Amino acid sequence: MAKLFFYYSTMNAGKSTNLLQASYNYKERGFNTILFNFHGDNRDAQGNLTSTELYVTSRLGIKEKAYPFDKNTDMREAFKRICQQDLPLKDSEDKNLPIGAVLIDEAQFLTAQQVKQLSDIVDYDNIPVLCYGIRTDFLGEPFEGSTWLLSWADEIVELKTICSTGKKATFVLRLDEKGMPQTSGAKVQIGGNNVYVAVSRKLHKQALKSGELENAAYREVKSE
């Protein structure tokens, strides 16, 4: 039976790698996959802006083309349209393969309605949907898509990583051009390791309070 999955973590926990591995596994077993990514994410694996073509890209250097979504995309209608168009992003020899799964990167940017639309793909089209995203923004505030996925997903899986203190990283900090934690700004800002860093909850609180990252990390290590 098809399910709606939510794989969540902070930055640099291998979400995109996990997604691309899942896509590969489906193809290896004779299925096609449909990948979606947030329309504003045209970075390469190092976080640098690339062309307007959209990919899901891993830090390991692998990537796969993806269809864009934004807040106005009807996810189920987009899924149906892609199927009717014989998957134009795929190689010609792959077009007639059955759809094995829909995979969504940057799923935190989904709206509540889009999460429900994805659940319709699972419930009525009987296609698994695998969503990958982070729970909170750089200030520790929840994203709409992640909140609804945590509520509606059939299965929820945490992908773990650690911060510089060795503790489990559950939050992200956004850094300015000087490497200092930002305490205000737009909720959505696409970036990689040059913009975001994964940290523990304690370090996140200390860094936002002090406005520094290195000293906050030092204080946390000393307090252990």
pLDDT band at 218 (very low <50, low <70, confident <90, very high): very low
- The catalytic residues are 106
pLDDT band at 31 (very low <50, low <70, confident <90, very high): very high
| Strand (E) or helix (H) holding 119 | helix 112-125
Q: Which residue has the higher pLDDT, 206 or 191?
A: 206
Distance from C-alpha of 98 to C-alpha of 132, rounded to nearest angstrom: 22
Q: Which pairing describes strands 196-199 and 171-174: parallel, antiparallel, or unpaired?
A: antiparallel
Is 12 annotated as belonging to a binding site? Answer: yes
pLDDT score recorded for residue 194: 67
Task: Write the class of the CATH domain 4-159.
Answer: alpha beta
- How is the chain split into domains, by residue range? 4-159, 161-214
Express as a percent the part of the chain with pLDDT over 70. Answer: 82
Is 223 annotated as belonging to a binding site? Answer: no
Is 191 annotated as belonging to a binding site? Answer: yes
pLDDT band at 49 (very low <50, low <70, confident <90, very high): very low
Per-residue pLDDT reduced to its tens digit, 193-214: 568 888 989 889 888 888 777 6
